[in-house]
Amino acid sequence: MAKRLNGQALAARYETSLRTSVAQHLTTAGCPPGLAVVRVGDDPASGVYVGRKAQACGRVGIRSRIIHHPATASQQEVLESICRLNADPACDGILVQLPMPAPLNARQLLLAVDPAKDVDGLHPLNLGRLVRGEPGLRPCTPAGVMALLAHGGIALEGIRALVIGRSILVGQPMGIMLQQANVTVTVAHSRTRNLADHCRQAELLVAAAGQPGLVGAHWVRPEAVVVDVGIHRVPPPRQGTRATLRGDVCFAEVEPRASHITPVPGGVGPMTVAMLLWNTVQAWQQRCGVVGGITPVPLPR
């Protein structure tokens, strides 16, 4: 039976470390770290995510605020909000909550964020730094996966990995981060032929296709490490019951076959939020000239 890589527990340890670092450097910095979330429209899932991020900020001492525009807001209005936040000294991090309602151009909005405040790590400058292996703000979800693997004691050097998905948000940066950890990486996508065969060769399988239950047990190499990035809301089966979440992996059938697996919920999701907090504290320290960085979360011996 696979060992579960518990993102909920690890995220709590990251929060403790961040809370300590914020408290330690508050006097030198002169003000707490600030995160602003730019939200447009009333997508219910976005509402839940934004609420969770705000709560997590509160737990570590980051001052958060939500700039909420109606779905009818123009591109110019949202751009002006971002520009105001770029110039605001109380704001260290700006998160543009995706998806943006049509006809807004999300790519142009992300480009408008000051790279020093780009806590999502999606600005071309930060993605370029990632490709070059230079320090910078890293995309939160793949950074969270790397932390889960490190704290799960997974030896990455020289292993063969398959990442399913090539989005800028997850798949592409995931592939780059794994390569930088000396993993031999294949990135699959919707046009990949014989996906199951690629999966069966992988010692590490990262599923980020956004396809519920795509990966079944027969696709998984025995003793593989399986990371499930997908999040899908399953509507309640009948009135009075609750909606549940599931991933891209058929958890119940893959768990007995894998060596390690991330659950959904409680795997990658909480670590994505933890990395957003990490980036915000890092951006704050950089802006305020704090030396010493963030207290690291000790790795297992």
Between residue 216 and residue 245, which ones bind ligand NAP under the rule CB under 6 A?
A: 229-231
Residues 6+ apart with CB under 8 A from 63: 32, 33, 34, 35, 57, 90
Q: For residue 149, how far is the Cα from the chain centroid?
A: 14
| CB closer to ligand NAP out of 78 and 188 | 188
* Choices 35-43, 177-185, 190-198, 251-259; region in contact with ligand NAP by CB under 6 A: 190-198
Between residue 83 and residue 122, which ones bind ligand NAP under the rule CB under 6 A?
A: none
Contact 53, 273 (CB under 8 A): yes
User: CB 269 → ligand NAP: shortest distance, Å?
Assistant: 4
Q: What angle do CA 109, 51, 241 make, to 5 degrees?
A: 125
Structure tokens at 297: 């979360």
| CB closer to ligand NAP out of 193 and 242 | 193
* The binder of ligand NAP chosen from 189, 197, 201, 222 (CB under 6 A): 189
| CB closer to ligand NAP out of 36 and 268 | 268
Q: Which residues of 233-242 are buried (b: 16+ CB within 10 A; e: fewer)?
A: eeeeeeeeee
Query: How many other CB atoms are found less than 10 A from the CB of residue 164?
Result: 31
* The binder of ligand NAP chosen from 132, 191, 193, 238 (CB under 6 A): 191
Active site residues: 53, 97, 120
Should residue 210 be labelled a site residue for ligand NAP when binding is judged by CB under 6 A? yes
Q: d(Cα 265, Cα 147) in Å, to the nearest integer?
A: 17
* CA separation, residue 193 to residues 52, 217, 287 (Å): 38, 19, 47
User: CB 172 → ligand NAP: shortest distance, Å?
Assistant: 8
What SS3 state is found at 197?
A: helix
Should residue 290 be labelled a site residue for ligand NAP when binding is judged by CB under 6 A? no
Q: Which residues of 74-101 are buried (b: 16+ CB within 10 A; e: fewer)?
A: eeeebbebbeebeeeeebbbbbbbbebb
Between residue 248 and residue 287, which ones bind ligand NAP under the rule CB under 6 A?
A: 268-269, 272
Q: d(Cα 121, Cα 138) in Å, to the nearest integer?
A: 5
| CB closer to ligand NAP out of 109 and 229 | 229
| CB closer to ligand NAP out of 28 and 55 | 55
* CA separation, residue 107 to residues 75, 110, 150 (Å): 11, 5, 32
What SS3 state is found at 27?
A: helix
Cross-strand partners of 96 = 38
User: CB 14 → ligand NAP: shortest distance, Å?
Assistant: 14
Q: Residues touching ligand NAP: how many (CB under 6 A)?
A: 25
* Choices 9-17, 113-121, 178-186, 204-212; region in contact with ligand NAP by CB under 6 A: 204-212
| CB closer to ligand NAP out of 57 and 290 | 57
User: CB 189 → ligand NAP: shortest distance, Å?
Assistant: 4
Q: d(Cα 299, Cα 176) in Å, to the nearest integer?
A: 22
Between residue 155 and residue 184, which ones bind ligand NAP under the rule CB under 6 A?
A: 164-167, 169-171
User: CB 241 → ligand NAP: shortest distance, Å?
Assistant: 22
User: CB 188 → ligand NAP: shortest distance, Å?
Assistant: 5
Binding site for ligand NAP (CB under 6 A): 141, 164-167, 169-171, 188-192, 195, 208-211, 214, 229-231, 268-269, 272
